[in-house]
Chain A
Amino acid sequence: MEIVGQLQKQYVEFSTSLYREGFLDEQFIQLQKLQDESNPDFVVEVVSIFFEDSEKLINDLATAIQQQVVDFKQVDAHVHQFKGSSSSIGANRVKNMCIALRSFCDEKNLDGCLRCLQQVKHEYFLVKNKLETLFRGISHLKENIDSFFSFLIHHFFRRKK
């Protein structure tokens, strides 16, 4: 069916662009390799954990940075965790922004931290959007493949009769 071929092509182009533009790195490919028939939802599962944890971290960071007296060690601890989780998912641009934010923490540069945190958030929501699009693409492709095979099987059995 024409549509399966088209969807597949779109999916591959989109997926490739994510690596080319630096949203995802090698680590995401490693995660995909860990998925198999006995763990078919592994990638979606870990990405969902990443989304949940990240949103909590972003809130914690915003709270820490907005204190009257900013505890830069606390801010740094949150950024350290965010850097760790984004690198374990392969969210490359988020990880790099976290590295930049840590430098501002080290310098105790509050303005720098505030500006950089906005960029961290921006990169996070961008990659979140991209990953959600990627997964929607996969499930759309699967639905079409499933209905294509159902059509084939149905057509085959009808003809046999």
Chain B
Amino acid sequence: MAGEMAGNSTKKKISALVVDDDRLVRRIHGMLLTRFGMETNAVENGKEAVDLFASGKCYDLVFMDMEMPIMDGLKATQALREMGVSSTIVGVTSRTQEGETQAFMEAGLDACWEKPLTRDGIISLLDQVAKKLL
């Protein structure tokens, strides 16, 4: 499977975290990533994502929604980078205004995409992530 890599005698799966307040998006993006062979988890807002990383959990890929209650994507991304998290963080947004996307990128994203996630986008990402992990 695309999201799995052979290493010694065990296969390591690429781990992905979906951060979105919309349960429909969590379900759909979660399934898409799982079908690519990734170990997937999902949380409802930026604070839950930050707490996960703070507790020692690590994810190779983070799909971060921009607008969420409690802690939005921008603040969560800033917090994660300040903590020293070097995971690939992709902003996922339904807002297409230039200014907002730019501010989000400057918070520390590796890329910013429009919803919904697509197979092609994920395939191109997996290439980059695999190189990072090797």
Task: Write the residues of chain A forming the contact surface with B, with a CB cutoff of 8 angstroms.
Answer: 27, 30-31, 34, 36, 39, 42, 45-46, 49-50, 53, 80-81, 83-85, 87-89
Q: Using Cβ atoms and an 8 Å threshold, which residues of chain B touch A36? A: 35
Min CB distance, B103 to chain A, in Å?
17
Task: Write the residues of chain B forming the contact surface with A, with a CB cutoff of 8 angstroms.
Answer: 22-25, 27-28, 31-32, 35, 67, 94-95, 115-116, 118-119
Q: Are A53 and B23 closer than 8 Å at their CB atoms?
A: yes
Select which of A30, A34, A87 is within 8 A of B94 by beta carbon. A87
Q: Are A85 and B27 closer than 8 Å at their CB atoms?
A: no
Q: Are B94 and A42 closer than 8 Å at their CB atoms?
A: no
Q: Are A34 and B32 closer than 8 Å at their CB atoms?
A: yes
Q: Using Cβ atoms and an 8 Å threshold, which residues of chain A touch B116? A: 27, 30, 87-88
Q: Are A80 and B119 closer than 8 Å at their CB atoms?
A: no
Q: Using Cβ atoms and an 8 Å threshold, which residues of chain B touch A81? A: 22
Q: Using Cβ atoms and an 8 Å threshold, which residues of chain B touch A45? A: 27
Closest to B31 in A: A34
Q: Using Cβ atoms and an 8 Å threshold, which residues of chain A touch B115? A: 84, 87-88
Q: Are A46 and B25 closer than 8 Å at their CB atoms?
A: no
Closest to B32 in A: A34
A sample of 6 more A-B contacts (CB under 8 A), given A39-B31, A83-B94, is A42-B31, A46-B27, A49-B24, A80-B94, A80-B95, A85-B24
Q: Are A34 and B22 closer than 8 Å at their CB atoms?
A: no
Min CB distance, B101 to chain A, in Å?
15
Q: Using Cβ atoms and an 8 Å threshold, which residues of chain B touch A46? A: 24, 27-28
Min CB distance, B73 to chain A, in Å?
13
Closest to B92 in A: A84
